[in-house]
Amino acid sequence: MPIDKIIDPNVVINAYSKGSNIAKSGVVASNDGVSFSDFLRQEVTDSIDTLKTGEKISAKAVTGEADLISVVEAVTAAELTLQTVVSVRDRLISAYQEIMRMPI
């Protein structure tokens, strides 16, 4: 089957024109209006809140004020959040190192 039967040329033309508009302006318009920095700030805030909640419920478990199920849920959520943050940090450092290795 020829390639022109698989891909509609209008789709390709529209994608190309959108890509060239992005390259010219240097700004990507988003539909929801959330910038990358706002998204990142919100995710970091949520991560900190999750870790603080885990600490509070763990402290309540020591005094006997929290049940076992909520302690396990909070600690698991905090552990997953910490693993995610460490993974993102490692990727950012790797990307920075890769950029620094690029010739000028």
In a domain, 38, yes or no: yes
pTM of the entire predicted model: 0.60
Is 13 a member of any domain?
no
State the CB neighbour count (10 A cutoff) for residue 60.
Answer: 15
* Number of structural domains the chain divides into: 1
Mean pLDDT, contiguous 10-residue spans, the chain (104 residues): 50 57 49 79 92 93 91 93 93 93 88
Domain range enclosing 50: 32-101
Tokens of 37: 């920095």
CA distance 49 to 35: 21
